[in-house]
Chain A
Amino acid sequence: DAGITQSPRYKITETGRQVTLMCHQTWSHSYMFWYRQDLGHGLRLIYYSAAADITDKGEVPDGYVVSRSKTENFPLTLESATRSQTSVYFCASSSASDIEKLFFGSGTQLSVL
């Protein structure tokens, strides 16, 4: 089924470990985004990408790394997970021609113990 999918849906890890969250979209959208959602903060932009091999920092990029070697994939890596990175992570995409419509994945709930 076409759309934007995130994996895993749930992840528990320990502090200091590297974790990668996956995001895949089938629409060939130019833009892809990673947000984190925390109580009292709404959604905050971590990183975004305008096209393959083009990425830029958002509001809260520290401790995260992204890559976009292919248009359809936009993985987010926590290089050394910390407890403050416990959150729900959302991937999103939008097309350049219809940029006002952002489509979100179902989210990844990450717990760092």
Chain B
Amino acid sequence: AQKITQTQPGMFVQEKEAVTLDCTYDTSDPSYGLFWYKQPSSGEMIFLIYQGSYDQQNATEGRYSLNFQKARKSANLVISASQLGDSAMYFCAMRVLRGYEKLTFGTGTRLTIIP
């Protein structure tokens, strides 16, 4: 079975600082994908970034990057130059090749950006 662990229930960060949200995962499947989603107070889930287990480089999407450390089974999300609009709930998720339709989510981290 797959498992995603997010150990930070909440974080407070000063505006314009960089933020790292932690995510560790556990799977015996060699082929998998890791995702981060943002959930603002309005409730919708927004896809942010994706990293494949065989990707050689860390994924980046604008101010978002994924610090992928395969040996440590971690997939931390880094947000550079945080903005007030980054305040939201953030979920790490994983999908494996076998049963690839299913996304397993962590419990989330609530990020609050302080002006």
Contacts and interface: CB of A to CB of B under 8 A. Distances in A.
Interface of A: 31, 33, 35, 40-45, 48, 50, 56, 58-59, 88, 90, 92, 99-107, 109
A103 B33 CA distance: 16
Interface stretch (B42-50, B62-70, B80-88): B42-50
Nearest to B34: A100
A104 B43 CA distance: 10
A33 B37 CA distance: 16
Q: Interface residues of B toward A: which range?
A: 20 to 34
Contacts, number: 58
B107 A41 contact: yes
A40 B107 contact: yes
Interface stretch (B13-21, B71-79, B95-103): B95-103
A33 B100 CA distance: 13
A17 B102 CA distance: 29
A101 B47 CA distance: 7
B50 A43 contact: no
Contacts of A43: 91, 93, 103, 105
A69 B42 CA distance: 30
B108 A42 contact: yes
Given A42-B106, A102-B35, A31 B101 contact: yes
Interface of B: 4, 6, 33, 35, 37, 42-47, 50, 52, 91, 93, 95, 100-108
Nearest to A4: B44
A106 B101 contact: no
A107 B107 contact: no
B9 to A, nearest CB: 9
B45 A90 contact: yes
Contacts of A90: 45
A42 B107 contact: yes
A100 B50 contact: yes
A53 to B, nearest CB: 16
Given A43-B91, A88-B43, A90-B45, A102 B105 contact: no
